[in-house]
Amino acid sequence: MKIKSSALIFDMDGVLVNSEKIWAGLEMEFLKQFVPQIPTEYNSKVIGKSLKDIYNMLLKDFPKIFLIEKSEFITEYEKFGLEKIYPKTQLLPKMYEFLEKMSKKLPLALASSAQDSWVKTVVDTHKIRQFFKVIVCSKDVKEAKPNPEIFLLAAQKLNIKPEKCTVLEDSNNGVIAGKKAGMTVFGIRNGYNDEQNLSKADKIFNIKDLHTSLLKAL
């Protein structure tokens, strides 16, 4: 499958770094302080969502016991990510070399529903900021994925038409957002997102084969 793309847009969690794996081990324990009986499988519902959307979802699902104010919840969540998650992340295998090669072929963008502070921690800690011409995150948009706003904004900032962009995503919400934006979407299987429905992606890659396969496809 040969894709004629003019730009490549990356999600962050689970695509660039292994943060989804770390979140999976710690996130439910964090949320239990607000909803003690939250089921373990709830983890799959929060993947790819913004903190605002997670708050609204918890408020809807547990209205009688989830009583914290939104601003306090987001502050605590962001602090938890900064202290317990993102300092522990590692780039996914061969990702640095892949970004280095791809940035010489195409303009790259990073479009993540994560907090700005989390994105800054990742790109600075792993020294990958220089590979991205554009970086957009939750603070830059009103609606998170599966709304296509963040991908459309990235294309706009790149000054490239959406249909000329290819998105790399590991979540159902991200895949849907990319398709709604009119972009080609590649789903990424990273070893810990098997419960995510990536069937709407144009093609699905295993992270182990991503770099070789995608370089050929593009």
Give the mean pLDDT of the chain.
92
What is the band of 47 on the pLDDT scale with cuts at 50, 70, 90?
Answer: confident
Question: What's the rounded Cα separation, in Å, for the pair 40 and 116?
Answer: 27
* 96: Cβ contacts below 8 Å, ≥ 6 apart: 126, 127, 128
Task: Determine contact, residues 180/152, Cβ cutoff 8 Å.
Answer: no
DSSP conformation class of 100: H
Pairing of strands 184-189, 165-169: parallel
pLDDT at 2: 57
The yes-or-no verdict on residue 214 having pLDDT over 80 is no
Per-residue pLDDT reduced to its tens digit, 85-128: 999 999 998 899 999 999 999 999 999 999 999 999 999 999 99
Average pLDDT over residues 56-81: 95
pLDDT at 44: 81
pLDDT at 1: 53
Higher-pLDDT residue of 181 and 211 is 181
The yes-or-no verdict on residue 48 having pLDDT over 80 is no
The yes-or-no verdict on residue 19 having pLDDT over 80 is yes
Task: Determine contact, residues 162/181, Cβ cutoff 8 Å.
Answer: yes
